[in-house]
Structure 1
Amino acid sequence: MAKEELLEFEGTVTEVLPDGNFRVRLDNDHQILAYAAGKMKKNRIRTIEGDRVVVEMSPYDLDRGRINFRHKAEGNAPPPGARRQQNFRRR
């Protein structure tokens, strides 16, 4: 299936489930099961309950989707000048 055939919807994360799954309520009041896209996992973009997200869905399965984008909220941004904690990995 080509990427042009995917459907995009906006919604709100209502529940965080194990294994990187999320319950998302779409703007048209449908509730689906979604997972984070690979780029979101790679860049460690955290998704929590109440976040506004863009979900891609296949026209063949309208109960599952992929979270493609998380909208930034004003309350989630760190204050200016705040330092980020660095994660060091041992090899």
Structure 2
Amino acid sequence: MEGIVTQALSNGLFRVELENGFLVLSHLSGKIRRNRIKIIVGDRVKVELSAYDLTRGRIIYRM
């Protein structure tokens, strides 16, 4: 799903507001960490949601 980063937390965690209005706590994927892509508040990102907990996800792409 796509969303907008609303808050930057510590240790690579971000609060992301999805298109449908839900807030998700997301961490960075390994590919984003490895390529040192910076994520700041206001960025549009693609988030992969956890199948077990829909309030958590992984940022996989920065648009």
Shorter-normalised TM range: over 0.9
TM-score relative to the length of structure 2: 0.97
* Other-structure match for 1:44: 36
> With CA pairs under 8 Å and 6+ residues apart, which has the higher RCO, 1 or 2?
2
Q: Percent identity?
A: 52
The alignment yields a C-alpha RMSD, in angstroms, of: 0.5
Structure 1 unpaired stretches of 5+: 1-8, 72-91
How far off is 1:19 after superposition? 0.6
* Other-structure match for 1:26: 18
**More strand per residue:** 2
* Other-structure match for 1:5: none
How far off is 1:59 after superposition? 2.3
Count of aligned pairs between the two proteins: 63
TM-score relative to the length of structure 1: 0.68
Q: Structure 1 segments of 4 or more deviating over 2 A?
A: none
